[in-house]
Amino acid sequence: MALFLSFVRVFSIVIPIIMSHFGQFDARTSLNVLSFGAKPNGMVDSVKAFSDAWDAACGVVDSVVIYVPRGRYLVSGEVRFEGESCRSHEITLRIDGTLFGPQDYKLLGKKKTGLVLVVFTMLRFLEVLLMLREQPGGIAKPMVTIALKTLRFMDSYNVRIKGVLSLNSQLFHIAINRCRNIKIEDVRIIAPDESPNTDGIHIQLSTDIEVRNASIKTGDDCISIGPGTKNLMVDGITCGPGHGISIGSLAKSTEEQGVENVTVKRAVFVRTDNGLRIKSWPRHSNGFVARVRFLGVLMVNVSYPILIDQNYCPGDSSCPSQESGIKINDVIYSGIMGTSATKVAIKMDCSEQVPCTGIRMQAINLTYYGEAAETSCTNVSGKQLGLVTPSGCL
């Protein structure tokens, strides 16, 4: 378990969004955003400069690098990086500076939902390469209450994001929608633990996604996995504070794509509200969850380390009161150790209409403040192998 703990780290800097430093250039065409009018002084809006640099890069037939040198760049509206009409087949965005959104939401004001800082769409190949640099002396800024998403990828293919530090986004930090072959590595995401809906990484309707070596501290899910996610690998993640890793919420609508072939391995959860959670609204739906692997997870004082909740209904008002139609089948929990902050460490509240099947548990040892923990399970079947503590679900 010591191996897993090496992923745990503590950071003290709080600046809106930092993306930093990458090593040296190679010989590819390089476009510096300063020559497009970007100002590294933190005062002048650089949205147009970034867009212009992107347009120029798109026109380059060869591989091209867009370079953002050190400095602080104010981004006071959405920057859209659209790949649809790009001629370049390989664009690298190298950021050695800090992009930050406005502190005063009245600047952005109008829209209540979905204001996005940086959007990437219709890409065929993109590398966003950044390397983290500590920012000593960073000052804590108060949270503002606008809906601001930080990085959003839509309809994109073959994207690699490395080394992003995303701070205090007001909604999802990184959102992946309708994408294929996306690799996210070495990222850190930080938001206050009381901030609502600040999911670290949200994935939906996407295939072949990898998240490796991520540290996520947030007020909502560290990683949320929505309908239509297929072939997802999450390896080496530290989560907390936050709501853990969630598949769901599913059954948001009656017609929904399933979640299939998801692996979460080598994860550490520290004082999160949940650990490994699968949740669906109590609504009929043709969605499903199949072939999920949770392998090698350390829980440190986690409220519900293992949770399947098919009666998910936060706030408990105006919820549908049907049996969930989401069929959950073939889920393996293996090597799940540590401590639960509640007596019930394993809870599976499955649908009566389509009970959970093929649930497998092996090498599980969860305790409650040194005492035995308990299970609470309904409509679940499967099998357990070897040590499973607490036992009683299968």
Ligand X SMILES: *[C@@H]1O[C@H](CO)[C@@H](O)[C@H](O)[C@H]1NC(C)=O
DSSP assignment string, 114-180:
-EEEEEEES-S-EEEEE-----TT--------S-EEEEEEES-EEEEEESEEEE--SS-SEEEES-E
Least distance from ligand X to the Cβ atom of residue 112, Å = 32
How far apart are the C-alpha atoms of 107 and 110, rounded to whole Å? 9
Alpha helices, DSSP H, located in 10-139? 47-59, 105-108
Spatial neighbors of 334 by CB under 8 A, at least 6 apart, are 293, 294, 295, 296, 360, 361, 362, 363, 364
Q: Is 155 or 260 the residue whose CB approaches ligand X more closely? A: 260
Active-site residue, from 96, 173, 199, 220:
220
Q: Is 62 or 352 the residue whose CB approaches ligand X more closely? A: 352
**Cα atoms found within 13 Å of the Cα of residue 314, Cβ hemisphere only:** 8
Least distance from ligand X to the Cβ atom of residue 128, Å = 14
Residue 37 region, left (φ>0) first, then alpha (ψ -120 to 50), else beta? Answer: left
Least distance from ligand X to the Cβ atom of residue 370, Å = 7
* DSSP strand pairing (344-349 vs 374-378): parallel
How far apart are the C-alpha atoms of 152 and 120, rounded to whole Å? 6
21 is catalytic: no
Q: Is 280 or 379 the residue whose CB approaches ligand X more closely? A: 379
* DSSP strand pairing (356-368 vs 304-309): unpaired
Active-site residue, from 173, 202, 243, 284:
243
193 is catalytic: no
Least distance from ligand X to the Cβ atom of residue 393, Å = 12
Q: Is 195 or 342 the residue whose CB approaches ligand X more closely? A: 342
Instruction: Considering only CA atoms, give the Rg of the chain.
Output: 22
Q: Is 88 or 340 the residue whose CB approaches ligand X more closely? A: 340
CA 176 vs CA 4, 20, 154, 168: distances in Å: 26, 21, 6, 18
Least distance from ligand X to the Cβ atom of residue 188, Å = 5
Where does this chain bind ligand X (CB under 6 A)? 132, 186, 188, 213, 215, 231, 233, 261, 263, 271, 301, 341, 352, 355, 365, 367, 378-379, 387
Q: Is 19 or 171 the residue whose CB approaches ligand X more closely? A: 19
Q: Is 102 or 241 the residue whose CB approaches ligand X more closely? A: 241
Least distance from ligand X to the Cβ atom of residue 157, Å = 16
Least distance from ligand X to the Cβ atom of residue 19, Å = 12
Of 122, 126, 30, 12, nearest in space to 69 by CA: 30
DSSP assignment string, 176-202:
EES-EEEEEEEEEEE--TT-TT--SEE
| Lookup result for tokens 């476009």 | 31
Spatial neighbors of 137 by CB under 8 A, at least 6 apart, are none
Catalytic residues: 220, 243
